[in-house]
Structure 1
Amino acid sequence: MKITSLTTYLVAPRWCFLKVETDEGITGWGEPVIEGRAHTVAAAVDELSDYLIGQDPLRIEDHWQVLTKGGFYRGGPILSSAVAGIDQALWDITGKALGVPVWQLLGGRVRDRIRMYSWIGGDRPGDVAEAALQRKEQGFTAIKMNASAELRLLDTPKAVQGIVDRLAAVRAAVGDEFDIAVDFHGRLTVPMARRVLPLLEPLLPMFVEEPVVPEMSEHIGDIVRSTSIAIATGERLYSRWDFKPVLAQGIAVAQPDLSHAGGISEVRRIAAMAEAHDVSLAPHCPLGPIALAACLQVGFATPNLLIQEQSLGIHYNEGSDLLDYLVDPGVFDYADGHVALLTAPGLGIEVDEHAVAKAAETGHRWRNPIWRRDDGSLTEW
């Protein structure tokens, strides 16, 4: 079997899909994207296709090594995301060629279903408590919320209390048999994190995600030691080498993104590294159905999986949503906050090629917001 073509499709709301075709008629799908840089990642895929066309798609590991290390300049979000989508598609082809789901190729399943969480926003708070209750009524047993709007380097007691009050309102609404994860998007400085997080401890969040930007990863251990809350990070780390120092500093939850961190091949290795540090895996995935399917394939074969993010109904998904590009959206039916085992070969989904091609005619140019403080200076979104 030989790879004959790689085709990227930019589709709403902010995704990039990849179709890899072979001379035996087996097609694999991947999702190579950096949110806000989809065109750039698609260009990187096109450059990598020069090597891949004519190659055997089943040599997944060798291709991963060549694509990540065969160039003199390595790493970074664009290259890692391009490789991630290609890697997903090659696993999809291999599973289809052998007639088994990818989790079978990863050693077999270790669970029958995967717990999922949903988003409720929170950086522009309306009624976050009501939004959380709606997710609970939909059957979810966990949600994630943003914790704040723009923050100063060291913000006022009022701003700090506002973060506490926001989480407290959600906790009061959903009760103690429901998990709440809190995402800071890197908006805290290290001293602000040490100030804020101990105040959240009585509310028992499941974890606090990305309290500081990844550039401050060398200080994540200081934050870990300042609070009893589990610290999660990783959506902006792109390899096992990026994860190595934060795992050693005591984070509790690793959050690699299957569309950013080298795909199924690399996230599988990150998960194993995390297990050796007594760290759980909770893959980042506010993306499309292909990325989610890849996450689930890894999750079904990973013993230290904690929970899985998914984007159905997330505030980014304007115009299109998670299920719009699937022939059978029922594969992602959620029951009691869980998704059942994916059993079809490859990634376990069937992409609606007609819907993808039609959406790609319009494409998108999604960009993340630019946030500024009250003094006009740039701050983290």
Structure 2
Amino acid sequence: MQDRNHLSDVQATNSVSLIENGLVEIPMLQLLDENGHETNKEQSPEINETTAKRISTTMQYIRLLDERMVGAQRQGRISFYLACTGEEASTVGSAAALSENDMIMSQYREQGALAYRGYTTDQFMNQMFSNQLDPNKGRQMPIHYGDKKLNFMTISSPLGTQISQAAGYAYGQKMAGEPAVTICYFGEGAASEGDFHAGVNMAAVLNCPVIFFCRNNGYAISTPSEEQFKGDGIASRGIGYGVKTIRVDGNDVLAVYAATKKAREIALAENCPVLIEAMTYRLAAHSTSDDPSGYRSKSEEDKWRAKDPIERFNKWLDGKGWFDKKATDAFLEKSRAEILAALKKAEKVPVAPIEDIVEDVYDTPPWHLKEQLVELKAHIAKYPEHYPKTSGRLK
């Protein structure tokens, strides 16, 4: 029987030994330098032209979507938005390395992964405007997407809740014998939540085929990483929990793609979790409620703009003979028009009936919710000037 305390495997010493941070250096996988040149062609993953171009166009589309929706929030057309500017390679590159049957559990900056799966511009807009075509029926904040057909779990606002859920979902995949994994995205700030430690430990002990994908973008809202933790990033925590770990340049699409491919292969073959720490940077504000000029310098941002993941990957595509500037410009023009048209259409769609608040939460709405609905309708009728004419679509 195995020694439960593993004492038989521990090397003894007769002197006090301290293991200090920094004794073990965790390397960062990088396959493209900042000019888009391959650093080691022998290690570059196999990727065909179709997939490479799809990755590129998805990243460019998401950047356009982010720019337009931040503008829409500033105009008061939507209430809130989170852009992923500068982090596109981490989410799109990793999503491209997955199977369509793999479950994606997102935090809130992974719209690129959803777009790569096939989420349409109209779907994005309906969710952000919380109209009656929104599958969440207006119950979620903007950017809290979810799509069952695309195996994209609905986003929750509280940080870290998806981490333990991902461990459990992946355990279910294993028990069902499914040839699929779960990928769970989160930021380095969310790794300070208790759910991170519970979820990663659970996955390690129960051998769950889950990829924990941390976007270490340098800031938890306004708190820089050096004020969040003292250890060597998030990768060191994976090692501490006995989880196979990869650190990758999060602005290098090729490296992210290769790392996620390898992580998926290991998770499936060995029924075990893998942690990926993508070192990237959030060029945008944390959200439209944030002003980053209060906690970081323009020179710092400019330093990272020089590492732009889209430009970097397009230079690599150009070197392969796969980049067509004329076609790219046409795509960008078409996407801008499509996004603007979808925005104008979605904001004209009425909101969901107010009865939806209670009628499909329970099979039979309980008495107290029925009473609250009556009170809510009376309140709106009494103060109509404070609510949009479409508010509630009262029956």
When Rg is computed on C-alpha atoms for both structures, the one with the higher figure is 2
User: What TM-score comes out, normalization by structure 2 length?
Assistant: 0.29
User: What TM-score comes out, normalization by structure 1 length?
Assistant: 0.30
Q: When you count helix as a share of all residues, which structure comes out higher? A: 2
Q: When you count strand as a share of all residues, which structure comes out higher? A: 1
